[in-house]
Amino acid sequence: MTKTVLVVDDEKDIRDLIAYNLSKEGFAVLTAGDGKEALEKLEQNKVHVVVLDIMMPGMDGFDVVRSIRAVEATSKIPVLFLTARSAEVDQIIGLELGADDYIQKPVSPRVLVARVKSILRRSDMAAPVISEDLSKEQITIEGIEIDRASYRVKIDGSEVFFPRKEFELLFFLAAHPGRVYSRDTLLNQVWGDGAFVVERTVDVHIFKVREKLGRFGEKIETVKGVGYRFVL
């Protein structure tokens, strides 16, 4: 099936260049010149990945990602930031908001296409495979219910929204209770070894998962100097 990429950038020359190179690789390409138009395109079309600039008039890229992740119909669409902003804090903010990759401009078209393909490969995987435990579709531990088929989590019977990476991190740890995993292993299993992310990204996501787990937050235990584990 042909994959559709939505390219969002306020500079037409950049949109056209990216669209041209993605089209040569067999992708269907949609473009948008601002955040509002991007969200409209997402409502009207089936999009498999979004390539998104940050610095745009009106709604910037961070706001666009927040909107994408807040709506169930679009919450799992992979997002790749392509931006001139190079500060580490911008990368961390983007990844914390749920972006799947972060690339600094300028970037060669071949590298960008490779990153898009990498994201789509990871997205097509039902879940990271490390052991037979991940064959489970549902995990129930005390008041926590995790349903991988629907990407839904219930805490004491009430549904709590987890963006895709937070969900996958929780599911992975809960599927292997008692085992300690390093940040590097979690990065590879949840984000994939081709993703441009830093180890601090794991810490930020762990903090958010614990917060959403409420009284069960302590089930994700920090093993000092090693990593994290889910305790029963």
β-pairing, 220-223 vs 227-230, is: antiparallel
Same domain, 39 and 113: yes
Place of tokens 């601002």: 34
Tokens of 25: 């690789």
| Domain's final residue, options 81, 99, 124 | 124
Same domain, 208 and 112: no
Same domain, 120 and 9: yes
Tokens of 92: 């961390």
Same domain, 138 and 213: yes
Give 85-133 pLDDT, tens digit per residue: 777 777 788 878 878 888 888 888 888 998 898 888 766 643 343 343 4
Q: Which of 211, 209, 218, 166 is nearest to 191 (CA)?
A: 166
Host domain of residue 85: 4-124
d(CA 139, CA 142): 10
- Cβ atoms of residues 190 and 165 within 8 Å: yes
The amino acid at 189: Q
Same domain, 9 and 109: yes
Same domain, 56 and 108: yes
Band of residue 1 on the pLDDT scale cut at 50, 70, 90: low
CATH code of the domain in which 29 resides:
3.40.50.2300
Same domain, 117 and 24: yes
What is each CA distance from 130 to 75, 79, 165, 183, 186, in whole angstroms?
25, 25, 17, 15, 11
Tokens of 114: 């490779």
d(CA 147, CA 41): 29
- E strands of 12-84, at which residues? 28-32, 49-52, 79-83
Residue 124 pLDDT: 61
Q: Which of 22, 6, 49, 197 is nearest to 110 (CA)?
A: 22
Same domain, 15 and 57: yes
CATH code of the domain in which 196 resides:
1.10.10.10
Give 4-27 pLDDT, tens digit per residue: 999 999 999 999 999 999 999 999
d(CA 29, CA 50): 10
Same domain, 89 and 11: yes
Residue 196 pLDDT: 57
Residue 72 pLDDT: 80
Same domain, 196 and 105: no
| Lowest-confidence pick of 61-75, 110-124, 140-154, 214-228 | 110-124
- Cβ atoms of residues 150 and 75 within 8 Å: no
Domain count of the fold of the chain? 2
What is each CA distance from 167 to 5, 65, 85, 126, in whole angstroms?
24, 17, 28, 13
Same domain, 140 and 179: yes
The percent of residues in the chain predicted with pLDDT above 70, rounded, is 90
Place of tokens 């590298």: 111
Alpha helices by DSSP H, listed for 164-219, are 164-175, 183-186, 199-213
Residues paired with residue 4 on neighbouring β-strands, in sequence order: 28
Asked if pLDDT for residue 198 goes beyond 60, the answer is: yes
